[in-house]
Structure 1
Amino acid sequence: MSVDEKTSSVEKGAVQDYVVQSENNFQLEAENDNVRRKLKERHVQMIAIAGTIGTGLFLGSGLALSGAGPLGALIAYMLVGSVAYSALVAIGEMTAHAPISGSFAHFAARWCDPALGFAVGWNYWYSNSISVPVEITAATILVTFWDDNLKHQAGYTALFCVLVCLINIFGVRYFGESEFFFSIVKLLLITGLILVGLIIDLGGGPDHDRRGFRYWKHPGAVAPAGLVLYNIGLDRFVAILNQIVQAGFSFQGMELVAIAASETQNPRRNISKAVRRVFWRVLLFYIGGILITGMIIPYDDPRLLQDTGTAAESPYVIVMSSAGIKVLPHIVNACVMLSAFSAGNSFLFSGSRIIYGLALHGQAPKILAWCTKGGLPLAAVLFSSSLAWLSFMNVSSGGATVFNWFVSLSTVGGFINWWVVNITYLHFYRGFRVQGFDRKKLAYYSILQPWLSIWGLVWTTIFILINGFTVFWDFNAADFLVAYLNIPIFALLYFGWKVIKRTKIWSPTNMDFVTGIPTIDETDSPIVPPTTILGKIAAIVF
């Protein structure tokens, strides 16, 4: 490659070859990228703050509390949160260098191994796509808080399916506006719940009962799992490990903001700002929420074990009802229903953009790379939308069991995605350094790297291996299959593509950090300082 070719860079879509030739002459194909940058700064910031907060946080916190106790749940959420953050920081730094379609699946193919990009891309697509019917089903069940007539369930399911698909079919601008609204609702809800929980804990509720850290002392800080009867300490440790999957589902989809980079205005500036703020989001909303939950209700409260799927199983609603607060449970249920719908909406967007990126680079059927004149990857959206209709399975008997399997499959798939992101980043870091690039000149870089990615890589490996360990106490073939099915599927995708295409792992000197990547001048416009009071407030908030 000549010097002129290396230094040239044009906006995405004008370059056909995204990756340099390898020793075996493998070359990643590339179609024209025709998506449009229509997501504004406020869209990106709100999606980053609350885009994928859903039932996993609002309702799942009760399951984590009953399963591991207040301290155990807090440790599980802090650990998984740190791992999720490691993946987001890694993908944020790579996106700051290359805000192009395909996101981390393309990064894995470009800087690690084309076969790895193929495997993680399809893994990400299916783990996100099966999360869509999970969230639609959750939204449908939440409606039963007001209407428990099972005959109406199919109608509600159809309504949510149609709405989720339509929002994505209308285009990224409509997706951005809808998620902006939903994110505001979720932020108000989680902030309100934390404040109400804190007020109740301090004795400000109608019952004037000051709880403090009472429940950390009795029944205790960590709940037993009931699996290791001869050693209570080990049994409590097992209880914490058992909540890893529940915590993982709550953190699913944090990388959405980076996946939308190719459709974001001023992507380097906006994505970088969003990633920097995620740490505080995790600390305040996830960790703070779990901490308050463990302060207001004991882990052995039998009401935490109810499986209604509505706000009735939320620890906050349980405490509100006990404290004599009557109206808030209905408000909470309505907001959680919107959160579930929003999470399904986000998962469909993520899945469609990843499969579009795969098609764009020759790793999925080329028809899925087709865009409308307005820049909507319609074929990818319709293809991904097809799995949303699996939510009708929950209407039939036995469907609930299948959807519990879907939750586990999507969560383990998410762990694999984080694992690959951190592997890819370590290759990116090494190649960047060997070729003489300066990370500090990127719009975003973390001083914690590469140690943060090493931390994430080690723990995701452990998560993937232990996620179904409890099945060995009372072996069940179906549960074992659900816990570990993703591993052979991922291996089959990786080695299958590697054998067919004869790919090799990129050496640090052979990685391409230039071709087809637009410069910052081509993607980001100069910052225009706000002149009005509202503009200045918006600049601080967003």
Structure 2
Amino acid sequence: MTTSAIEVESTPAKPSPTYDGGPTRKRRQDSGELESTTSHVEELPIGALPLPPVDSKHGGLHRGLSARQVSMIAIAGTIGTGLFLGTGRSLAQGGPASMLICYAIVGAIVYVTLLLLGEMATQYPVAGSFNAYATRFFSPAYGFALSWNYWFNDAVSVASDLTAAQLVLQYWTDRDTWVISLMFWVFLVSVNSINVRAYGELEYWLASLKVITVIIFIILGILVNVGVNREHEYIGAKNWHIPGAPFVGGFGGFAKVFVTASFAYGGTESLGITAGETKNPSRNMPRVVKFVFWRILLFYILSIFLMGLNVPWNYPNLSNKTTTTSPFTIVFQEVGSKAAASFMNTVILTSVLSAGNHALFAGTRVLYGLAVTTPPQAPHFFSYTTPGGNIVGVSNQIAWLSIGMASWRFRQAWIRQGRPIYEMKFRAGWTWPWGPPFVIITVIALILIQGWSSLAPFSAVDFVSFYIEIPVMIVMYFGWMLIRPSNTHPPLPATTTPVSLAHRIKERFWKFHDLVDVEVVDLIRDEHEEDDADVADDEERTARLKGTYRWLWRVYYLVV
């Protein structure tokens, strides 16, 4: 992918004395090409995540996910119960205006976050993704806490999704639903243990059903609003002017919607976890990052806008402790669909299975990344894979915050070490240099605003559920600082000039933290180098788009 150069307003920094990439790489200044060396291969830099060769003892991860599958994995990870059910609660608690504004704001934040993640994932398509980047560019101790926390969330998610499947199944039967959930678990584990393509194909078709459902909903929502409904009445914006609307519950209601909005967008960050197993990542990751989220945002904003128009915020059972009615079901019923409830329960069931499949995939990849990082942050046996390349088996805001911090340090390292911007395989030029601080500040604000909903009135259970992961991560951070190997700190840059006071302070401070020094972090290792398969993939796509049937191929790529 060719991109234009951008200007970065910063004082030109001298290239780092270790810019050659450490003991395992050196840079040829005359041609700009990278040349591998074999000396001191065992001395891996902090946070390096090597992918073992496929024929090694451990099997390694395979690059088997196509752009089509990765795109749908991103959509599948986002469109789910948060949209189908969570929006009903948002509408009831905050009203149509709060819902539309909150989902738009969170969507914009997540979009910038995804661009930052895309820059790193394209440059370094490794297992573990944003967890790996936090370890490599920010702090190994923080990356350790983040990765184990994210893995725990995924492990719990698999269990909770299978439990949710039982609740959905009770719509049809209440006899031995646990048996069906057990069968679902066996099925998901089996699919994930075959190979990554099997996982990708399952996710593709599960996501396709959700996408088709949303498209149908948008079309029907427009028809219902203009009068194709049971009352044969034009609705327009009437529901925005009923008592209590368009803002319900004031700022407290607005804050509550932020909670469900953040939950609904959760999963987009795990797109980067697929980078280590994506075919031709230098081309496919930028395509996915740039186009997929706009489709997700379009689905969300259009769907939510139509919900607010067609469904009043005080609709019976829209949200309470015992029953939740999906706005999708309400709109389907308005056009006279008698099977609407059954159809939506089927879609929700597939969404639950997709969420469980996604969590199982993401959790195992995070665990793999922990086992192969340097120094290891999980037992070595977690790096073992099947011959097919698979292993069996904080909240979203913390993940987004971590991406912002890792991206900030990554960009600083890139500039300070003198690497030209054009060497980046993908960059979102319009987010330089404000992107990372924007994500960090806004996500922190999101975390604080969400807690407001548990303070007025105060709910100890909700407060703990919102913030329990923060003290857990702090404990794990300092735990790693205590048990870490003594040689995990890279040495400070050598200097022949008299040691300054600032250098001495930095040297003393270095003993009490493990923030990665952007002056010396290795920017060469793990960069993806295109192989014959990548070149062939590019040539095949180019030939299709220029051949006799180029318009059919354009439609094909657009649809799939």
Question: TM-score, normalised to structure 2's length?
Answer: 0.81
> Is 1:508 matched up with 2:554?
no
Query: What CA distance in whole angstroms lies between the structure 2 residues aligned with 1:450 and 1:156?
Result: 51
How far did 1:525 drift?
A: 2.2
How far did 1:81 drift?
A: 1.5
> Is 1:70 matched up with 2:96?
yes
Query: What CA distance in whole angstroms lies between the structure 2 residues aligned with 1:512 and 1:420?
Result: 19
Q: 1:18–1:58: structure 2 CA closer, same or farther, 3 Å change rule?
A: farther
Question: Aligned letter for 1:175?
Answer: Y
Query: What CA distance in whole angstroms lies between the structure 2 residues aligned with 1:194 and 1:270?
Result: 29
Query: What CA distance in whole angstroms lies between the structure 2 residues aligned with 1:532 and 1:17?
Result: 52
RMSD of Structure 2 on Structure 1 (CA): 2.5
| Aligned twin of 1:270 | 284
Q: Deviations over 1:260-293 (max 9, x none)?
A: 1111110121111000013312331111111111
Q: Deviations over 1:116-168 (max 9, x none)?
A: 21111112111222222232233322222222x2x322223222222222221
| Aligned twin of 2:195 | 171
Alignment check: 8 A CA contact 2:252 2:456 kept = no
Query: What CA distance in whole angstroms lies between the structure 2 residues aligned with 1:10 and 1:60?
Result: 51
Residue pairs, 1:324-473, within 5 angstroms = 324-361=336-373, 362-376=376-390, 378=391, 381-382=392-393, 413-446=395-428, 447-473=430-456
Query: What CA distance in whole angstroms lies between the structure 2 residues aligned with 1:132 and 1:9?
Result: 43
Question: Aligned letter for 1:299?
Answer: W
Alignment check: 8 A CA contact 1:16 1:29 kept = no
Query: What CA distance in whole angstroms lies between the structure 1 residues aligned with 2:237 and 2:436?
Result: 35
| Aligned twin of 1:401 | none
How far did 1:259 drift?
A: 0.7
Name the % identity: 33
Residue pairs, 1:160-239, within 5 angstroms = 160-225=184-249, 236-239=250-253
| Aligned twin of 2:311 | 297
> Is 1:101 matched up with 2:127?
yes
Query: What CA distance in whole angstroms lies between the structure 1 residues aligned with 2:111 and 2:232?
Result: 38
Query: What CA distance in whole angstroms lies between the structure 1 residues aligned with 2:367 and 2:191?
Result: 18
> Is 1:283 matched up with 2:291?
no
Q: 2:530 aligns with which of 504, 517, 520?
A: 520
Query: What CA distance in whole angstroms lies between the structure 2 residues aligned with 1:10 and 1:209?
Result: 71
Q: Secondary structure at the match of 2:26?
A: helix
Alignment check: 8 A CA contact 1:307 1:313 kept = no
Query: What CA distance in whole angstroms lies between the structure 2 residues aligned with 1:327 and 1:373?
Result: 44
> Is 1:120 matched up with 2:146?
yes
Question: Aligned letter for 2:535?
Answer: S
Q: 1:49–1:444: structure 2 CA closer, same or farther, 3 Å change rule?
A: farther
> Structure 1 residues 454-463 or 347-356, which shifts more?
454-463
- Specify the structure having the higher radius of gyration (Cα): 2
Alignment check: 8 A CA contact 1:207 1:323 kept = no
Q: Secondary structure at the match of 1:6?
A: strand
Question: TM-score, normalised to structure 1's length?
Answer: 0.84
How far did 1:532 drift?
A: 6.5
| Aligned twin of 1:32 | 52
How far did 1:523 drift?
A: 7.4
Q: How many residues align?
A: 488
How far did 1:348 drift?
A: 1.2
Alignment check: 8 A CA contact 1:135 1:341 kept = yes
Residue pairs, 1:53-64, within 5 angstroms = 53-64=79-90
Structure ranking higher in helix proportion? 1
> Is 1:321 matched up with 2:333?
yes
Q: 1:5 aligns with which of 25, 31, 35?
A: 25
Q: Deviations over 1:395-437 (max 9, x none)?
A: xxxxxxxxxxxxxxxxx52111111110110001111111122
Query: What CA distance in whole angstroms lies between the structure 2 residues aligned with 1:258 and 1:510?
Result: 25
Structure 2, unpaired ranges of 5+: 1-17, 28-33, 54-59, 490-513
Q: 1:124–1:191: structure 2 CA closer, same or farther, 3 Å change rule?
A: same
Query: What CA distance in whole angstroms lies between the structure 1 residues aligned with 2:467 and 2:72?
Result: 34
How far did 1:29 drift?
A: 8.2
Alignment check: 8 A CA contact 1:99 1:261 kept = yes
Query: What CA distance in whole angstroms lies between the structure 1 residues aligned with 2:321 and 2:535?
Result: 50
How far did 1:16 drift?
A: 4.7
Alignment check: 8 A CA contact 1:203 1:209 kept = yes
Question: Aligned letter for 2:473?
Answer: F
Q: Deviations over 1:160-199 (max 9, x none)?
A: 2222222212221110110111121111011111111111
Alignment check: 8 A CA contact 1:52 1:346 kept = no
Alignment check: 8 A CA contact 1:102 1:357 kept = yes
